[in-house]
Structure 1
Amino acid sequence: MIARAHALLLAGKYLTQVRQYDMAYFALAEAIRLARETGQTQLAATGVVGLCWLLLRQDRFDESETLAVQTAAEIEPRMSEATPAQLAVWGELWLRVAAAGRRNNRLDMAKHARRMAGTAGGALKREHTDFPTHWSAFGPVTAEAKAVEDLALVGGARGVLRRADDGPLSPKAVQNFGRLSTNNWGRHRLDVARVHVLLGSHQEAMDELVNLRQTADVWLTHQPMARRVMADLLKTRKRTLTEDMRSMAAHLGVDG
């Protein structure tokens, strides 16, 4: 049953990524059920993290927030005794709360959730990845990337660029803090691309998109943010488009 729960969780995460939401919901819910039945609390909580992300993708913000808060309360670890995997999953649940609160205009809840995620990240000291006890990387770098994402959403463009080059997200911090997961790194660099467009730095935005196409091509085509960045670039670009720009627009299915 545990192996089946792992397989369903993997399927649910993939199906969410490719927007097959009905099948993803079934897979994740079944994975959570099986994990609970076999006493695998950590695995069940990991499934809830995935289910909350699915609910976010469907704009079901209240449901995502409520589920994440309830689960975080159920599994809240003692900081002095918690394993890295327990801290990581607990921190990820608070990231889901923050994302739901931000999108649902519940800013006080989002700020509180970011602080809780930061607490979990700080307790870990560096990014933690230990499949299958924890399915994705979490730590101080992830917590910082998500805080920067909030800054991007409220238009703090120069702050995004400053924090992207300094602190836990900077290239020089990798040795001390570790790296973001591939998906979180991609989302973070899309935030950077977006603020470059807002500041009129079109070539810098394109450099970010081109780098992501080279390293995560399939992932990029499933990102609405990538299409929005490209569409905004096309709308605001006053000079002739470069070959890279025309190629990227066609790749993402964005009309010029």
Structure 2
Amino acid sequence: MTTDLTGRVVAITGGARGIGHATAAAFLARGARVAIGDIDDVAVKEGATALESTTDATRVHHDTLDVTDPESFDRFLDGVEATFGPLDVLVNNAGIMPVGRVVDEPDAVTRRVLDINVLGVITGSKLAARRMLPRGRGHIVNIASAAGETYSPGLATYCASKFAVVGFTDAARLEHRGTGVEFSLVMPSFVNTELTAGTSGARGFRNAEPEEIARAVVSLVDRPRSRVRVTRLFGAAVVSQKFLPRPLAEAMSRALGADDVFLGAVDQGARRAYEERARHS
């Protein structure tokens, strides 16, 4: 069962590339009007141009967005509604994933991860919900991660940020039950984007593609649910660990390569450009 998304107004953070851009394309394919925001003003313009080449350009809007700045976020949503009308869907997708041991992580990078991955999601959710509640409808989809349900060496702060997104979204969903405003989570595994550049993925599991995550986001708008995991197989493996004794669950993670995938096994050369942008942009 699918919902008629023709004319729906969708805003996506981190929409210049990767999962955000694929999600924009998926909503456009269903007839929605889509706005993408990103801190990289050059990339967001290029991303919008690419989207416009596949559809009616009047259904695409873009703007520079710093999710760590509430005023920037509010201006972005103001621009979306001035262009398209009332906001129907917000996809909080913007996020960064620097890797390495936490003791080697500069305090500025720790704060940057939390500012973008946690406060950006909370800020966007609040601003969108305040616009949606008076109309009694709307949907906020927060992109978390399998790292919000498990943990990996080399991702301590990232895991903390995604655990926070999961807890926040579940609580917000219950707070808004019956209001017409939905809150949902998408829990990706390894995805073939720049975020995972230089890593090998989980042993025995394939990486997801951005388009799969995009389809999961759209499916939640079609049929609201609390969360969806992509890939299903990797998600099932993560959930199964919760029912195992901790030593056995951690042994299972080691068998999948989790102890090394974000540390010694990283191709630093392949990852250098992403790390530079994630840590300093």
Normalising to structure 2: TM-score of the pair?
A: 0.32
Structure with greater strand percent = 2
- Ranked by relative contact order (alpha carbons within 8 Å, sequence separation 6 or more), the top structure is 2
Normalising to structure 1: TM-score of the pair?
A: 0.34
Structure with greater helix percent = 1
